[in-house]
Every structure is written in C-alpha cells, then in structure tokens.
Chain A
C-alpha cells in the first residue's frame, strides 16, 4: 500500500490442542532443543507447538510433516502425553525477519511508523514494545531499549542481530 518492500517473509507456525485432561501441567514447559512448548489450558486441553513449517505461507494452516515432527518432539520431552488425543490444530502467520528480531522504527514516509517482524515470538513483549513504540511516536526518537531494532540495520549491518548464530538470512530463523 505504501510501496515499501520490507525485510519480512511470512511463514506458517502450527499449534495444537488435545482433548481435556485432568490437571497435569501447572506451568509452561519449553524444550529448546526441540523448539517445543506445552502448557495446559483451564479447560484441560494440552496446548503445544514447535517449529515453523519453514516455507513462505499465508494459508493459516500447515502440512503434515511438521505435525509429525512436533508430535515427536513432544514425545521426546514427555512420553506421558502419548495417549492424549489431539482435537484441533491451526496455523498462524509469522512475519519473519532475516535476523529473527523485530523492527520498531520510523520509515522514510512522513507519519508512517513500523512495529513489525516479531517472528514467532512477541506476544509477551506486547506491553514493552508498545511502550517503546509510543515513545518513538511521541518523540520521533527510538526508546533506548529499542534502539537496536532499527530498519536500517539490514543495510548498514550496524547492530544486525542474529539470535541463534545461524546468519542474518531469510529462512534460517
């Protein structure tokens, strides 16, 4: 709409819910090596997910190979969930940046600001990122906590981040 090309490629990330079970997990468990997380909802369903499908997608649904992969990661972490029956799954659209970090910045277009590229994270960062974004809107200067989330880091290489040490390149995060 604004005619800007951004360093963002949209991918699909699936999540899954099982049938309701008696309370068995009272906190979130994440499994870094398997890129797997799981918690239990108030209704008893286990809510879990894992890796991106790893291709550009706006379908809001994924494919079966990643369903299998996530289920295997879950069984690796906690075989006790093996008999739980899965009720539903869905795919969310993830705005992936090359370095896996977000963009909070003004653009070259007057009055147009960006708060984007939160990849598959960001939900818990909403209050803090909103605070930083409001600071940017009000003062036209980046908040100190968000100073490294500038759009021009990709062009200059200055402060280019790479959360996993895999390289600041599309499809690696």
Chain B
C-alpha cells in the first residue's frame, strides 16, 4: 500500500503512522456532555468500503494527512493535508 503525500509524492506505507478515523477532526465542545464525547472518542461507522482516516507522515515530512481509502480493496483514493489545529 502506498499513500500520495501532497508534499512528498507517493510513499510507502511504512513511512506513515495510522491514527484512526478522521472523525478525530470533529472535536466536540468541552461542555458537550458525556454522550457526545463517548461517541467522538469511541464509536465508529467502521465502513466496509470508502473511509477517511488520519495518517502521520512520520518518516517523511511530518505532515498529518486525511486519506480517503477503500477498506475492502486497500485502494488509496486521495490524501489532503490536515492542519495541526484541527487535531
């Protein structure tokens, strides 16, 4: 599996650290309540098909990417940069 880093080009999966679904970008307000925070931290759509998850290019440029990917075929569809303040 290779990921297209917008800064570095196509790189091997081994250069990236996987950090779970991109739902982590939608951080709730601090006072949103236990149910909302539980949903944000733990519950997942867990799709068989197209998903978007976060990858850190730790052995490359250090950027965080949101990668659209197919969990059934392992095809990597696209990758976009994610700003640090979104995480």
Say yes or no: A55 contacts B44, CB within 8 Å.
no
Given B38, B42, B44, B71, which contacts A59 in the complex, CB threshold below 8 Å? B71
Given A5, A55, A98, A156, which contacts B45 in the complex, CB threshold below 8 Å? A5
Which residues of B, 32-87, contact A by the 8 Å Cβ criterion? 34-35, 38-39, 41-46, 48, 51, 53, 71-74
One of A6-14, A79-87, A125-133, A141-149 at the interface = A6-14
Interface string of A18-38 (1 = CB under 8 A from B): 000000000000000000000
Q: How many residues of A contact B (CB 8 A)?
A: 21
Known: A6-B44, A98-B41, A154-B42. A59 touches B72 (CB 8 A): yes
B14 within 8 A of A: yes
Say yes or no: A9 contacts B13, CB within 8 Å.
no
B6 within 8 A of A: no
Say yes or no: B71 contacts A56, CB within 8 Å.
yes
Say yes or no: B53 contacts A8, CB within 8 Å.
no
* Complex Cα–Cα for A40 and B17 (A): 33
What is the chain A residue whose CB lies nearest that of B67? A55
Could you say which residues of chain B place their CB within 8 Å of the CB of A5? 39, 43-45
Could you say which residues of chain B place their CB within 8 Å of the CB of A57? 71, 74
Could you say which residues of chain A place their CB within 8 Å of the CB of B42? 7, 98, 154-155, 170
Say yes or no: A56 contacts B46, CB within 8 Å.
yes
Could you say which residues of chain A place their CB within 8 Å of the CB of B44? 5-9, 170
Known: A56-B21, A63-B13. A7 touches B43 (CB 8 A): yes
Could you say which residues of chain B place their CB within 8 Å of the CB of A7? 42-44
Instruction: Output the least CB separation between B48 and chain A (Å).
Output: 4
Say yes or no: B13 contacts A169, CB within 8 Å.
no
* Complex Cα–Cα for A5 and B45 (A): 6
- Interface positions of A (Cβ within 8 A of B): 5-10, 54-59, 63, 65, 98, 154-156, 169-171
Given A56-B51, A98-B42, A169-B20, 7 further pairs, Cβ under 8 A: A7-B42, A8-B44, A10-B48, A56-B46, A57-B71, A154-B43, A156-B34
